[in-house]
Amino acid sequence: MRAVRLDHFGGPDVLDITTRPDPSKKAGDALIAVKAASVNPSDVKNVAGQMEGTVLPRIPGRNFAGVVVEGPSDWVGAEVWGTGGDIGFRRDGSHAELLAVPEAALVRKPERLGFEEASSSGVHFVTGWLGTVVKARLAPGEAIAVFGVSGGVGGAVAQIAHVMGAHVIGVDRVHPAGHTPAASVIDAFVALDGGPRDIGSRIKQGTSGHGVNVVFDAVGGVTTAAALASLAHGGRLVVISSVGTRTVEIDLVDLYRNETLVIGCNSADLDVVESGAILDRLTPYFDSGQFRPMPIAERFSLEDAQDAYRAVAGHIKGAVVIRP
């Protein structure tokens, strides 16, 4: 099979396109012909050596959609999708023609989504569901501010929160464009164009002065102070990233007086089986049209994988997909 191979860490130029033996299918594994696999920021960080636990040499790639070619008889020929914090890190990933996964990880692709759309949705919605539903336990009628709402994870969180019956405030440098899924589900928008207290004040103005019950900060670092300033008493802050800085100053008196709960959320801790269980729960929402993936920005062949990684490293708007 043809595959992208990583022998040492660095920029996209360290990626080689090689011919490798087909994956050796262990007992209990299924073999998938990859039809589309997106490139995520975590894939770029993985190639750069910024993710823990990656064992080299490695085929990268975390998200996938394809067709089962070997496995249980009732699965052969099925269109599937998936993602996982082990794929492309501790086991070979999806930027190849073939991918081996445990049979327990097989999840039928939403019929409403094509292979490209399905391959671009896994990390975004698994992370969004994990942080919003599992970790923060957002309840109907609560208010949530989504920092980075124009991005893939932020857009997923906005849709999840909307379906759950929450009041959704989008926060970003610019308003999400009309073609992005988040644009149609947010109830209000606050621009990231002021200091932390100003941003927090504007968010509180939109919640009768109380603040939001939950902040999902898909940016982190440079936005942490503003996120904390936006919370209501007893609010929960979900953190998944640290842009600009890994360390921030927190006023502990304000923190404990507000009884703020800070929650770290790392979807990379979920393997392909655990992630698949979440995707299985999400499938009906995609088939009903309540959840929509980010638009596809660019498509690349395996031979152009370096360019695909460069596009994501350059913060392209929209999903980047490799078609093996």
Domain end position, chosen among 267, 285, 314: 267
Q: Are residues 254 and 153 in the same domain?
A: yes
Say if 274 falls within a structural domain. Answer: no
**Both 170 and 95 in a single domain?**
no
pLDDT at 264: 97
Can you give the length of the chain in residues?
324
In this structure, the answer to whether residues 166 and 223 fall within a common structural domain is: yes
The Cα 14–Cα 291 span in angstroms is 36
How many domains does the chain fold into?
A: 2
Phi/psi of residue 110, nearest 5 degrees:
-55, 135
Q: Which residue spans within the chain are E strands per DSSP?
A: 2-5, 16-19, 29-38, 64-70, 79-82, 98-102, 143-147, 167-172, 188-191, 212-217, 231-239, 261-264, 296-301, 319-323
Give the CA distances from residue 36 to residues 30, 80, 96, 114, 213, in Å, rounded to whole numbers and listed in that order.
Answer: 17, 11, 9, 9, 37
- Residue numbers of the domain that contains 11: 2-121+293-323
Provide the CATH number for the domain around residue 162: 3.90.180.10
In a domain, 112, yes or no: yes
Kindly state whether residue 283 falls inside one of the protein's structural domains: no
Amino acid 178: pLDDT: 75
- Are 152 and 113 found together in one domain? no
129 with 117, same domain: the answer is no
| Local confidence pLDDT in tens for the 324 residues of the chain | 999 999 999 999 999 999 999 998 788 999 999 999 999 999 999 999 999 889 899 999 999 999 999 999 999 999 999 999 999 999 999 999 999 999 999 999 999 999 999 999 999 999 999 999 999 999 999 999 999 999 999 999 999 999 999 999 999 998 887 778 899 999 999 999 888 889 999 999 999 999 999 999 999 999 999 999 999 999 999 999 999 999 999 999 999 999 999 999 999 999 999 999 999 999 999 999 999 999 999 999 999 999 999 999 998 889 999 999
Same structural domain, 70 and 134: no
38, 65 contact by CB (below 8 A)? no
Same domain for 115 and 128?
no
Q: Report yes or no on 49 lying in a domain.
A: yes
Q: Is residue 284 part of a domain?
A: no
Report the predicted TM-score, pTM, of the whole model to 2 decimal places.
0.95
Name residues whose C-beta falls within 8 Å of residue 205's C-beta, 6 or more positions apart in sequence. Answer: none
Count of CB atoms situated within 10 Å of the CB of 167 = 18
User: Are 73 and 117 in the same domain?
Assistant: yes
Per-residue pLDDT, 271: 97
